[in-house]
Amino acid sequence: MPKYTKVFTCHIETTLQRCWEFHNDASALKILTPPDQEIKIISEDNRIYEGATHIIEAKKFGRRIHWVARILKVNPPHGFTDIAIKSPFKTWEHKHEFSEKEGIVTIRDTITYEPKGGILGAIANSVKIDEEIEKLFKYRHRTLREFLQSSAAVINEELIGTGGDGLSTSLGD
């Protein structure tokens, strides 16, 4: 069965370091996931480092989905790759790339995936999966831009790497 590759790019007025700090904790997924998907981070150590394993539970279409991802190819502050060990897909690889030029950070997400189910999975991809991935990454990039460009949003450095939520927002400047 075919594998599919999708590339999503956005440009954000921020620093490479701020972008990396945001992504350096899997708890960022709580901000980057649409509210209708009810994400829960199960793993205790959510930092991004070579070989880390993150366990996530999400609710989609009324059912619980367990996702186990392994972090590889970590290159701070320029990116990392996560590979699904357990997911709704036969294979899933998500390459996160960050670069900065003149105060603008370019975020490039490259997703390579293969649906489960052979020919039925290919049909499901053309009918629904492809569209859902498009919506998810449009949401993520819009939310990421709003978060990183907001002077009111801050990364709570005391919580990063402690296994807590890792991220918080402040309403004051």
Arithmetic mean of pLDDT over the chain: 84
Rounded CA-CA distance 136/17 in Å is 24
Rounded CA-CA distance 77/109 in Å is 15
Rounded CA-CA distance 33/20 in Å is 18
Q: Is the pLDDT of residue 127 over 90?
A: no
pLDDT of residue 61: 65
Its pTM stands at 0.82
Q: Is the pLDDT of residue 158 over 60?
A: no
Separation of CA 141 from chain center: 10
Q: Which of 152, 82, 122, 114 is nearest to 6 (CA)?
A: 114
In sequence order, what E strands does the chain have? 4-13, 40-41, 53-60, 63-75, 79-86, 89-101, 104-115, 153-154, 168-169
- Give per-residue pLDDT as tens, 84-123: 999 999 999 999 999 999 989 999 999 999 998 888 878 8
What domains are defined for the chain?
A: 4-161 (3.30.530.20)
Q: Is the pLDDT of residue 136 over 80?
A: yes
- 16 touches 77 (CB < 8 A): yes
